[in-house]
Structure 1
Amino acid sequence: MTTRTALVTGANQGLGRALAAGLAHAMNPGDRVLLAGRRPDAVEQAVAELTAHQSTGARLEPCVLDVRDRSAMDDLAADLGEVDIVFSNATARMTPDADPADHVDAVAETNNLATTAILRAFAPRLRPGGRLIIVASALGTLDKLDARVRPRFAGAAAADLDAVDDLIGRWRAAVHAGRAADEGYGGWLNIPSKVGQVAAVRAFTRDRREADLAQGTLIAALCPGLIDTAASRPWFEDMSTAQTPQQAATWPVELALGPLTAETLAAWYGELVQFGRVIPWETGMPVPHRATR
């Protein structure tokens, strides 16, 4: 039996930690799950705590990785050689009262440039049948944007990762210059950032689709739904139906490990998916919880 390798970024807490734990529980002894984060103490503590409650399954390993460091990303990919499962889950945290100009660099680098770096570094190393999942949001569809900037994101998604990176750079510059609202990007960083993540997945997968489907490989964006975490609580007035991280990780773990029919694989490939359905790129779906900003 081939030993499988899974990588989860942003995994020392919240959804990432739950994803790592769920994968380790469901995978086989001899498989490995890399729990990745920026701080050595945090990832080592998370692995120690999860391993203490794990009686079977894959081996959990701490992995120090700053997803904003492209060379570190490339080095890790080279060291691993081949991978079976990648969850790109790291995200930058901010609060509703924060000045977007103070946080746009961290958001763009952690959410967006890291997404394109992970696609570039790890997708070529996926074994046949592998899964590379970018954790995004239901906010990541064109309808959530001002009509003035929708064509920019649609155009980047129809081009390539360089075009997506360039657009993120222009959005970032507009925020710093105080022009974001006037140019249609709005004042909430999450929306352009999440749309940019989904645009990256769509751009990257377009030319790979036929080859990946032939090998049973899935690359997609994921909306995990509303999760009750310290990062999400400041943004939403109603958390009564929010999932725990463990609940939110259940379906993504099944997606990563379970078999997919050829029809399902073709339907989900390159798309934003949630709980077994595709969220349409152009029209999206209603977000049931109102953000506080």
Structure 2
Amino acid sequence: MTPKAALVTGATQGLGLALVEGLARRWSAEDTVYLTGRDAGRVAQAVEALPAGGARFRGEVLDVADPHAAARLAGVLAGRHGGVDVVVGNAVMRVGPDDDPRAIVAEYAEVNNFGTTRLLRAFAPLLRDGGRFLVVASSFGTLRHLAPALHDRFAELSSLDEVDKQVAAWRDAVEDGSARGGDWPGFVNIPSKIGQVAAVRALAAGRRDTDLARGILLAAVCPGMMNTPTSALWWDVRDAPSPAQAAAVLLDLVSAPLDPAQYGELVRDGAVLPWR
């Protein structure tokens, strides 16, 4: 059997780190799980702190805000392994209630949205038969959280370029202040998550038949509320699951038999959340 390879972005802490550790426990010593982040020192520290056993860990620097970084790393992994079996896009820029949307939206979209589409472009072609590509999003990533007047911007996009165009239009409206007088929600997380889910749907639309025939799952996933310092800035999360508990649910989706109903959709706890 060919040794397996997995890649997790945004993996130096929280959910990403828990996904790396949990995936390694489920795999064997011949397999490799790549822990990635944008800071080389933090990547090295995270790898060093992980427990032994299961798959081997390998750290790589990946800043998804760099327009070329995902493609470069995809080339490296293709050379080492010939393909990948699991990709989890978890890189995210965190914001707090006191952050000014106009000041942070450019970097926010660069990481969360354009980082997602770069990852999809670079690594989806490397998926082996039976592979899994999950983009960590949110239940905010459905159209019911967006004003009906804006639904057509994201509803049925057919390419990642089209998704990027709509995200850029939203980013520019926030930056120039026009979003405040329009229908855009004030919470930047909502359009950003909708853009992530729209990206998965757009790519899936062109790959569905081939991927399902090969046993591949491409989906957005909602880990639910977690008890993390960032979430605690917004909500009372004292009773919320830990990142490790949330990761276990996502990893069950990785190891479960392919459910075609989940392909290209936003999935939470194994159930598909309606897009509209």
RMSD: 1.0
Q: CA deviation at 1:20?
A: 0.4
Q: Does 1:198 align with 2:191?
A: no
Amino acid at match of 1:71: H
Q: Does 1:245 align with 2:243?
A: yes
In 1, are the aligned partners of 2:226 and 2:243 still within 8 Å (CA)?
yes
How many angstroms does 1:185 deviate by? 1.3
d(CA) in 2 for partners of 1:268 and 1:205? 11
Gaps of 5+ in 2: none
Give CA deviations for 1:166-207 in whole Å, capped at 9, x if unaligned.
001100100111011222112110000000000010011001
Q: Residues of 2 paired with 1:183 and 1:128: CA distance? A: 45
Partner of 1:17: 17
Moved more, 211-220 or 105-114: 105-114
Aligned mates of 1:251, 1:100 — CA distance in 2: 32
In the TM superposition, what whole-angstrom CA distance separates every residue of 1:88-138 from its partner, at most 9, and x where no partner exists? 000001111110011101210111001111111100110011000000000
The code of the aligned residue for 1:216 comes to G
Residue identity matched to 2:232: R
Task: List runs of 5+ in structure 1 lacking aligned partners.
Answer: 283-293
Equivalence for 2:264? 270
Is the contact between residue 83 and residue 126 of structure 1 (CA under 8 Å) also seen in structure 2?
yes
Q: What amino acid sits opposite 2:252 in the alignment?
A: E
Contact 2:37 2:60 in 1 (8 A): yes
Where does residue 122 of structure 1 map in the other structure? 123
User: SS at the partner of 2:64?
Assistant: coil
1:132-143 equivalent positions in 2, closer than 5 A: 132-143=133-144
Runs of 4+ in structure 1 deviating by more than 6 angstroms, as ranges, are none
Q: Please point out which of 69, 74, 77 is paired with 2:74.
A: 77
On the 8 A contact 1:148/1:183 being kept in 2, the answer is no
Identity percentage of aligned residues: 49
TM-score, length-normalised on structure 2?
0.96
Q: TM-score, with normalisation over the residues of structure 1?
A: 0.91
Question: Given that residues 25 and 54 in structure 2 are in contact (C-alpha distance below 8 angstroms), is that contact kept between their aligned partners in structure 1?
Answer: yes
Aligned residues: 272
> Aligned partners of 1:234 and 1:39: how far apart in 2?
24
